[in-house]
Amino acid sequence: MTESATQPRDVDPETVRSILANTPPGGVTVLDVRQPWEYEQFHLPGATLLPLGELEERMGSVPADKPLIVYCHSGRRSAAAASLLAGRGHPGVMNMLGGVMAWTGATAVGAPQTGLQYYRGDETPEEILALAYAMEAGLGEFYECLASSAATPELAETFSRLAGFEDKHKLMVYHLYKRLHPESATVEDLAGRATAKALEGGRSGEEILADAKSLDGARSALELAMGVEAQAMDLYMRQAALAKDEQAREALLELAREERTHLRSLAVLMDRLGQAPKAAPA
C-alpha cells in the first residue's frame, strides 16, 4: 500500500472497513484528527487522537513504518492532514472520504485514556491475560444481572446467551495463558490471578447502559454487546501502542484480534434477526 510521498490516496469507508478487517491489529495506523470532545463521543477502534491543529508539531509521533488512515468528521480536516503528512514524506497515507458521517461500522467511545487506569504500562504477558480474564468475567456477570432484570423473556434469553459467550471468551484467554506455561498453567491459576474488578473495554456498567438508547429486545441487546466488543478491541489496541514489553504488546494485539472475531460473531447474530446494526452517530 505504499503511496507517493506527495500524493495521499482518498478511500471510502467501505475500503477502510475492508483494510481494517483484513489487516492484523497494529498493522495499520488509524489517526483521528478531530478535537478531543469529538473523539470522546465516538471513534474508530484503536484510533490515535491527534487534532489537526497539533499535527505540525507532533508529526514525529506518527509511525512511518506502516500504512496510515486519517479521518475526521466529514473528510475536510483529514484531507488537509493527509496532504501534510504525505508532503513530509510519510508513505501510505489514506484519507477516509466522508469521515465518521459516512462510517457505519463499529465505533468506540471515551477519551484516549478510557480504560487505561487498569494498566501500569509495564505488565508482563501473564498480567495482561489475567486482567483480560477478569474483564471477560466481569462482563459475563454484568450480562447475567441484565438477564435477571430483563423486561421480557426474549431480552432475558439474549442476555443469558451473551453471558454464555463470555464463558467461551474466558476459555480463549486461558488458552493464550497456557501458551506461556504449557506444562503447569490451569484455569484455576489464571482465575486466581484475575482479581481486577472491571468490565471488558474498561467502562463501567453504568456508562455502558447510559449509551444504550433502549433495551427492549434482542436487537438492542446485541447492539449493546457489539459496542462493548468494539470498546474492548479499542482498549487493547491503544494499550498495545503503549506497551513497553514486546511479548506484552503481542498479547494485547492477540486479544484485539479475538475481540474483532467476537464482534463479527455478534454481527452474524444480528443478521439472523434480519436487521442491520444502527449507523454510528455523526
Catalytic residues: 72
Nearest partner of 30 among 62, 59, 56, judged by Cα: 62
Query: Does residue 71 sit in helix, strand or coil?
Result: strand
Between CA 43 and CA 282 the distance in angstroms is 10
Residue closest to 13 by CA, chosen among 50, 44, 55, 34: 44
The phi and psi torsions of 95 (rounded to 5 degrees) equal -105, 125
Q: Are 152 and 79 in contact (CB under 8 A)?
A: no
Q: Which of 13, 215, 222, 230 is CA-nearest to residue 114? A: 230
Measured CA to CA, the distance from residue 132 to residue 140 in angstroms comes to 12
* C-alpha pair distances (Å), 225 with each of 98, 108, 130, 252: 26, 12, 22, 20
Query: Which of 31, 27, 44 lies closest to 110 in space, CA to CA?
Result: 44
Reduced DSSP (H G I as helix, E B as strand, rest coil) percent helix, strand, coil of the chain, to 5 = 55, 5, 35
C-alpha neighbours within 13 Å on the C-beta side of residue 120 = 7
